[in-house]
Each structure stands twice: as structure tokens, then as C-alpha cells.
């Protein structure tokens, strides 16, 4: 029979309350929040679609004062992905909102309004551009992956791939010269009330990694790589290696795997510590 560690029993005793930490109760909570999970029965975006429907059924409100009926994806508490009727996937960061006209979306237009940070993987449709209004910013695309981060301090756009037209909102008959064309890896910002967005350096190499779980580096200084990965995974990564640069793409949500790949690529050692 094993001996009891005093510190462990004391910890349990100090926090013990009858009935909490019960997995069955937690499971019920999970099921009522997410629906009873059935794995592999849905296609890749099936879950997102189910989430979208659940969100629509539970959280839809009708903005009659705005004229056409609107579907509103309510504020998410966690990162979640919804699929729009045209097949576009929108990944909402906590606190973000997204709305679009329920009727005609995907046939008459592909216009959405949003606030907060949203990553879009837009289904390509040459005939019907995908249009986004976010704070003072307006973005038009054909088919691409990019994110928009809009709040009261302005609107920022980061393009992962494809081609995006970024302009100030509210202009009729927008032409390409009225805005800024952004392509892969570009970052631009629009200040509140400004007429044109300006190109800027993104804060990190992969600003959309929270949604894509993909880190792309092109001759990036190792210090910057480790700083970005550290902020993303909530860890501190340190190394004695100096002046190294990294090129490559790293996918996944397991920091240990990504760090192991970098160690192997550069033949160095990296220490991992929680922040």
C-alpha cells in the first residue's frame, strides 16, 4: 500500500468541497454546451457548420432597424470557427462578432460586418467578391486567407495568402486605386477617420497563427522566432545560440514538437519554461 504524501493530502483537504471536480457533471456541461459529440460523422468543416447553426439558432437576433435581415454570430468566449453559407470559414477570436444578411448571401452578395479579430479563409468566387466592413475599414477579396483586427484604435489587416483590397469604409464604386492592394505576408493599418490605410510592419512574423496554427519564417532572426512562439504558447524559450536565422514552416499546436524541429534544423538546444 502506498504512503500518502502529506503535502498532497493537505492540498486536497484545503480545497475539498463535496460534489465538485465531478467528471459526470462536467460531461453534462460539455454536452449541453457543445451538443453530443459524434466523431468522424461530419466532414472537415462539419463541426464548424454545426457550431454556426447552433450559434444561429441560439444567438440569432434580427436587426430589423438595419433593413435586411441579419444573421449575427454572437460574441465568442473562445476561439471558434464558423462556416458561412458561401463556404467561407471565419475563425473568431474571443470577443469578436460577425454579421451578414441572411437572404441573398452567397447569391446576391458576400458582404459581412465584423468587430474584433477574425481570420477568414474565403472561398474563391470571381463573380462575387467577398466584402468586409470592419470599424472604418473596408476589405474586398476574391479568394484568400487573411485576418482583420478592428477596434476603436483602428483596423489592421494581415494577409496569409492571396490578394486583398483594403480601403476606408463608406466609398461607393470603390476602385483599386482608392485603397491598398495587399498580398501574402503584408500588414496594413487604417487609423480611425483616415482616408487610406498604410503599410506597416506586423508585430510578429505570423500574426494569424492563433487561427492557422501555422508559423512561417523566412530568414527570421531566431530571437524573434522564439519570442513569437513563446507569446503564442505561454512559455519562455531560451537558447545560448546567437545570431542564428530560421527559414521554414512549422505547423501544429504542440510547442514541444515545433521546438524539437527547430532544434534539429539549427542543431541547437532550446530550453522551455513556463512564463
Applying CB under 8 A, the residues found at the interface with another protein are 1-5, 7-23, 26-27, 29-30, 33-34, 37-40, 42-48, 51, 78-81, 213, 233-235, 252-256, 274-275
Minimum CB–partner distance for residue 199 and another protein (Å): 31
Cβ 116 to another protein shortest distance, Å: 16
Q: How far is the CB of 272 from another protein (least distance, A)?
A: 9
* Closer residue to another protein (CB): 34 or 153: 34
Q: Which of 16, 127 has the CB closer to another protein?
A: 16
Q: Given the complex with another protein, which of 218 and 271 has the nearer CB atom?
A: 271
| Closest C-alpha to 116, from 76, 62, 162 | 76
Is the CB of 73 or the CB of 134 nearer to another protein? 73
Minimum CB distance to another protein, residue 256 (Å): 8
Residue closer to another protein (CB basis): 234 or 243: 234
Question: For residue 110, what are the β-bridge partners?
Answer: 130
Q: How far apart are CA 214 and CA 206, in angstroms?
A: 8
Residue 7: CB minimum distance to another protein, A: 5
Amino acid at each position: 500500500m502506498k504512503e500518502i504524501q502529506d503535502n498532497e493530502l493537505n492540498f486536497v483537504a484545503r480545497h475539498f468541497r463535496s460534489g465538485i471536480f465531478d467528471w459526470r457533471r462536467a460531461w453534462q456541461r460539455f454536452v449541453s454546451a457543445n451538443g453530443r459529440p459524434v466523431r468522424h460523422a461530419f466532414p472537415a468543416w462539419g463541426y464548424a457548420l454545426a457550431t454556426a447553426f447552433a450559434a444561429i439558432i441560439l444567438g440569432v437576433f434580427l436587426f430589423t432597424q438595419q433593413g435586411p435581415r441579419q444573421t449575427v454570430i454572437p460574441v465568442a468566449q473562445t476561439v471558434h470557427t464558423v462556416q458561412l453559407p458561401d463556404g467561407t470559414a471565419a475563425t473568431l477570436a474571443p470577443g469578436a462578432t460577425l454579421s451578414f444578411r441572411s437572404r441573398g448571401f452567397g447569391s446576391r452578395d458576400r458582404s459581412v460586418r465584423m468587430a474584433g479579430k477574425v481570420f477568414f479563409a474565403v472561398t474563391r468566387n470571381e463573380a462575387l467578391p467577398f466584402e468586409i466592413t470592419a470599424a472604418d475599414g473596408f476589405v474586398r477579396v476574391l479568394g484568400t486567407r487573411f485576418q482583420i483586427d478592428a477596434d476603436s484604435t483602428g483596423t489592421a489587416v494581415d494577409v496569409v495568402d492571396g490578394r486583398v483590397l483594403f480601403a476606408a469604409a463608406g466609398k461607393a464604386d470603390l476602385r483599386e486605386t482608392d485603397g491598398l492592394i495587399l498580398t501574402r505576408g503584408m500588414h496594413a493599418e487604417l487609423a480611425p477617420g483616415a482616408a487610406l490605410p498604410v503599410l506597416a510592419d506586423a508585430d510578429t512574423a505570423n500574426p494569424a497563427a492563433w487561427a492557422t496554427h501555422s508559423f512561417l519564417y523566412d530568414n527570421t532572426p531566431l530571437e524573434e522566432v522564439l519570442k513569437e512562439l513563446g507569446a503564442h504558447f505561454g512559455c519562455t524559450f531560451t537558447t545560448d545560440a546567437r545570431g542564428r536565422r530560421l527559414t521554414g514552416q512549422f505547423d501544429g499546436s504542440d510547442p514541444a514538437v515545433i521546438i524539437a524541429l527547430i532544434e534539429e534544423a539549427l542543431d541547437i538546444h532550446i530550453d522551455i519554461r513556463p512564463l
